[in-house]
Structure 1
Amino acid sequence: MDPAPGGAEIPTGDAACANRAPVLAALDLGTNNCRLLIARPCREGFRVIDAFSRIVRLGEGLTRSDRLCDDAMSRTVQALKVCRSKMERRGVSHLRAVGTEACRRADNCDEFLTRVQDETGLEIEIISPKEEARLALAGVAPLLDASIQYAMVFDIGGGSTEMIWTELVRGRPRVIDQISVPLGVVNLTETYGGDRVCPHDYRRMMDRVAEGLGDFDARNGISKAVAEGRVQMLGASGTVTTLAGIQMGLARYDRSRVDGAFLDRDKARSISETLLGLDYMGRAGQPCVGRDRADLVVAGCAILDAIWRQWPVPQLRIADRGVREGILCELAAAARHRRRRG
């Protein structure tokens, strides 16, 4: 597996490997998480053969300094070394590795990317919010209901929240408009705290997110379509998957049960109120939350509440998928195209 500029599709230089079925990898380096999926293309799309996810908090402290701190970079490099090892062990032949909001915002991103390449051999492609949203939509598209005309698709990240207003045309999603709200669970938690969050600060988080939604709503007439019952809502993030797991009463998180499930708006609000009333240790003891997310989940609930306050769709479909799956869909389609050509 040889690095290529921009983190684009990476064919192996080994001629023997080129004659075998390709092994694909998608790496998504976000503000909070480092995620990897390894898969083989198949007739229906792709089949996952390995995965890795670690909370690295790359964007820690970025709100205050506009720089990636040394500890965050070191944690991330160690996680990327694990990714590199997994890819080598699986014989990955095609890779796309992307970085999102933390990398976009950091003044010392170039320094960080050089370190990543030197220590792991990986080149990370910093993608725009528009490309991030496009890939996320490609990843979650199979969960959209083709019988409902419009969809509000969102992804609550560590440093930003991506919103995609979509129309279903003959069952296929077409992006009408999109925005990237520069607020996510990490930067809101750093501003308002992650232990005990008072109701006043919770409302302030909601209001800040709402400020980024008003113009988007007005120029697209989204509220009118919601009132007419022509809008479905689909969310991807640790926040919505956590709330869905709690709603289902899971003793521990189970992706196979959560991905594609539905979250009721009123039930989600009740769960959010319960989590808001707990301190860090209280939330850490909740099933499907744990210590890694206990300080971040309240900010995520505030973002979700702001979205639902703006567009009161009765229920939300949950996607435990996103950018990585979107990348794999495209890599698998390219692999099938190459195979058809000979």
Structure 2
Amino acid sequence: MGTNNCRLMVAVRSGDGFRVVDSFNRTVRLGEGLQSAGVLSDDAMARTMSALHVCAARLRQWPVRAICCVATEACRRAANGRAFLQRVRAETGLDIAIISPREEAELAMDSCGALLHANNHRRERGILFDIGGGSTEIAWLRLDRARRAQTLTGTTSIPWGVITMAERFAAPAADASDEEHAAYYEAMVRHVMTELDGFEAVHHIRREIGRSNVGMLGTSGTVTTLAGIALNLPRYNRHAIDGIVLTDAAALGAIDTLRAFRADGLATHPCVGSERNHYVLPGCAIFEAIHRLWPVEAVTVADRGLRDGLLFRMAREMETIGHVRSPSNVARRTPPSSKHGVYGANSAIWGA
């Protein structure tokens, strides 16, 4: 349960990995208005509760052995975040835990690490970033090429995601001048760069980039949208995007394409849509700030994130302890047939 989206993934063990058999994703904008009010609004909680009732109903259709539910920045920051989660548990049976920014980074690393190794054979360091609704997480990694493993050596979280940026910086009117639109965008980029300067001062990432020793990976709706624009896809296609490598020229060119649209044009774009049109440019500004500060020549795009990292973690735990006690709030039923993707514990690549 993020600041912008509520997501569910159900999987079964398959060989040394797992197979996804059901998934759900709904834009709920839980963090809408949080930047100014400091609390979750009634409308935002109602939208989110509706989505969570759907999740609970979907889970009752499966013979679930274990459930892990997490919440991120909106519930971390909101004064009524924990009270809302207590209400969620009472109404839906879902016991949702608030995770720390560092754990968010670790879960993203678990789900996306294999892609870093696949596309950065000669590099020993990596940057992983996740642009969320209420925050952006940055992970600085040490890559072990021989073992195809990675170690988290530093992480930071800034309280700026696509929703908080959109609320902090008012977009110009549709009929505003090009100069006004350019100033609005540049103000967002510089704001995020300032927020990240301290992390650079500690870890000297630019120095490693100068040695061509750093790979970069992004996981979020922003980077997958940029990939869809760069590929000129008629509609979003996860299988065409997950794992693709975008050059910096292609990524920045996609941003230029999106910036040429006004809000109405973005709402009708097949890779954006009306639910995300107000958040696309704030996300692009965060991406560009990261790129300006750390100008890596290409970025690997991952359409995977917290859910996938949680499933990898649960699969490892089940392998270690042999079994997991079933939660009492899930009904036992035979699962319907479904065909989704397959994750391998080693490759972490989707297959049809």
TM, length-normalised to structure 1 = 0.88
Q: 2:255 aligns with which of 255, 272, 282?
A: 272
After TM superposition, the structure 1 = structure 2 runs for residues 1-342 of structure 1, keeping only pairs within 5 Å, are 29-145=1-117, 146-169=121-144, 170-193=147-170, 196=174, 198-339=181-322
Q: Partners of 2:92 and 2:133 in 1: how far apart?
A: 24
Query: How much has 1:86 moved relative to structure 2?
Result: 1.0
Paired AA for residue 33 in structure 2: G
1:277 CA drift (Å): 2.7
- Could you tell me how far 1:337 is from its partner in structure 2? 2.2
Aligned-residue CA RMSD in angstroms? 1.5
Distance 1:218 1:167 in 2: 18
Equivalent pair of 1:156/1:236 in contact (CA under 8 Å): yes
What displacement does 1:340 show? Answer: 8.8
Equivalent pair of 2:28/2:48 in contact (CA under 8 Å): yes
Give identity over the alignment, percent.
Answer: 44
Output the CA distance in 1 between the equivalents of 2:251 and 2:157. 23
Instruction: List gaps (5 residues or longer) in structure 1.
Output: 1-28
SS in 2 for 1:177: strand
Cα deviation digits, residues 293-334 of structure 1 (max 9, x gap):
111000000000000001111111001111111110011112
CA distance in 2, matches of 1:110, 1:176: 30
SS in 2 for 1:94: coil
Once superposed, which parts of structure 1, at least 4 consecutive aligned residues long, lie more than 6 Å away? Answer: none
Larger relative contact order, structure 1 or 2 (CA cutoff 8 Å, min sep 6): 2
The answer to whether the 8 Å contact 1:246/1:287 transfers is: no
CA distance in 1, matches of 2:167, 2:191: 14
Tell whether the 8 Å contact from 1:41 to 1:335 is kept in structure 2 after alignment: no
Is the Cα contact below 8 Å between 2:222 and 2:283 reproduced in 1?
A: yes
Separation (CA, whole Å) in 2 of partners of 1:181 and 1:220: 16
Can you give the 5+ residue segments of structure 2 that lack an aligned partner in the other structure? 175-179, 325-352
Are the equivalent residues in 1 in contact too, given 2:114–2:148 (CA < 8 A)?
no
Number of equivalent positions = 313
Asked if 2 retains the 8 angstrom alpha-carbon contact of 1:284 and 1:290, the reply is yes
Structure 1 residue 139: Cα displacement? 1.1
Equivalent AA in structure 2 for residue 96 of structure 1: C
With over 3 angstroms needed to count, the CA separation of the structure-2 counterparts of 1:120 and 1:340, relative to structure 1, is: closer
Moved more, 83-92 or 270-279: 270-279
Query: Residue type of the partner of 1:239?
Result: T
Contact preservation (8 Å) 2:70, 2:97: yes
- C-alpha distance in 2 between matches for 1:34 and 1:270: 30
Secondary structure at the residue paired with 2:295? coil
TM-score by length of structure 2 reads 0.86
| Conservation of the 8 A alpha-carbon contact between 1:138 and 1:329 | yes
Q: Tell me the distance in 2 between the aligned counterparts of 1:111 and 1:222.
A: 40
* TM-superposed deviation, 1:41: 1.9
